[in-house]
Amino acid sequence: MTPPASSHPQGRDGGGIFRPWRLGSLEVPNRLVRSATEEGLSTADGAPTQRLVDLTADLARGGVGLIVAGSAFISREGRGATNVTGLDHDALIEPLSRMCAAVHGAGGLLAAQLLHSGSTLRPVMVTEKEGPYGPSAETLDPVCEASVRALTKTQIAGVVGDYARAASRARRAGFDAVQIHAAHGYLIDQFLSPARNRREDAYGGSLKRRARLLYEVYEAVRGAAGPGFPVFIKMSAHAGWPGGMQPHEAAEVAAELDRLGIDAVEVSAGTPEAARRGGWDHIMPAPIPEGRFFAYALTIKDHVGCPVISVEGWRDPRRIAEALERIDAVSLCRPFIREPHLAARWRDGDPAPAKCISCNKCLGLIVDRGLGCIFHKGARGSAIAGA
């Protein structure tokens, strides 16, 4: 699964990293993407705080080619955590436009990530809403630890409409692209899963039926965003346990999305649910193999014509440059929390791997005080380490 070490010398241009590529109509200046990172820095209503605007603009100044903002809920029912960003009502367009303008002013590009959490939500959220909902009723969800209701067909149509309206708001706010979050065990991934989706209607059964929600969401988002607006997807190419979706099925779904016109596929794997069933999660703590899911990205690449982005465990620019001979871009999350200017460091000729040690303390910080790194001086989280 891990690519061989590169023999390529690392020049000042970072080998193949600092070449532009196209995400649909958008030219992205280099091959480094900041993978979506929930920040926990929005108001209860879902508006970004000034701290989130500043953090995102700082990432743009740090030279990353494209920033995918932390997942944004498309509806109140689809909101999985507190203090996350929203795209569920028009009043959020104005505050979000300030974040987009700050990123553009700093020379960056910003994509919104659209999410309905399904039943993969923090237990604290369960009491806040009716539901939680998933494809099928369950007595005890492994993540939210509550009973789950099955979405009715009418509710599914509502979810599809919510995605479309959220995409339209993202475009009007000034985002450069939208990403559909279909990975990590959230609602769309739950529909894709043969274990979670036991429906007997048009949305369950064969892979084609389990993927129907995703295809409808894609078509609705494409329709709302317009033909020239970049739309891409993040998907789990392996559920992380034998009962969930497997790579050959993910490849079939990616190929169909490619046929429908998707502009890129970001390939992740694993789910929190799998971790609770003896499988593996999508955010592995150290020691983490370089490019942990690269093999899955290659499988998807074999089945699509659109660009493929590989996420998880990319830390060494020499290994990244080598991987970029076979895929189009790589995305990183935790390294940019510790070093927001990591791309500029590599671009300017310092080839030392990312300093992130994948300790995963950032995950706790989102809930406690907002995104930060215990080692990053200047981040609020640094108070934990006394830095």
Nearer to ligand FMN, 85 or 136 (CB): 85
Question: Does position 41 bind ligand FMN by CB under 6 A?
Answer: no
CA distance 359 to 182: 25
Question: Does position 366 bind ligand FMN by CB under 6 A?
Answer: yes
Near ligand FMN by CB under 6 A: residue from 291, 313, 340, 372: 313
Task: Let me know: does 281 contact 240? Beta carbons within 8 Å.
Answer: yes
Interacting span for ligand FMN (CB under 6 A) from 29-37, 94-102, 187-195, 223-231: 29-37
Q: Is 44 exposed, middle or buried (0-12, 13-18, 19+ CB in 10 A)?
A: exposed
The least CB distance from residue 157 to ligand FMN, in Å, is 25
DSSP letter for each residue of 291-311 = TTTHHHHHHHHTT-SS-EEEE
203 is catalytic: no
Output the CA–CA distances (angstroms, integers) from residue 242 to 221, 246, 274, 364, in the order listed: 31, 8, 9, 28
Near ligand FMN by CB under 6 A: residue from 3, 15, 65, 70: 70
The least CB distance from residue 280 to ligand FMN, in Å, is 12
Task: Let me know: does 63 contact 344? Beta carbons within 8 Å.
Answer: yes
From the list 181, 157, 175, the residue with the least C-alpha distance to 226 is 175
Catalytic residue among 186, 203, 218, 296: 186
Question: Does position 363 bind ligand FMN by CB under 6 A?
Answer: yes
Interacting span for ligand FMN (CB under 6 A) from 236-244, 247-255, 331-339, 345-353: 331-339
Question: Does position 240 bind ligand FMN by CB under 6 A?
Answer: no
CA distance 215 to 160: 10
Q: What distance lies between CA 247 and its chain's CA centroid?
A: 18
Question: Does position 71 bind ligand FMN by CB under 6 A?
Answer: yes
Task: Let me know: does 246 contact 192? Beta carbons within 8 Å.
Answer: no
Q: Is 227 exposed, middle or buried (0-12, 13-18, 19+ CB in 10 A)?
A: exposed
Near ligand FMN by CB under 6 A: residue from 116, 234, 319, 345: 234
Near ligand FMN by CB under 6 A: residue from 111, 300, 332, 342: 332
Residues that are catalytic: 186
Chain positions contacting ligand FMN, by CB under 6 A: 35-38, 70-71, 113, 181, 183, 234, 268, 282-283, 311-313, 332-335, 362-363, 366
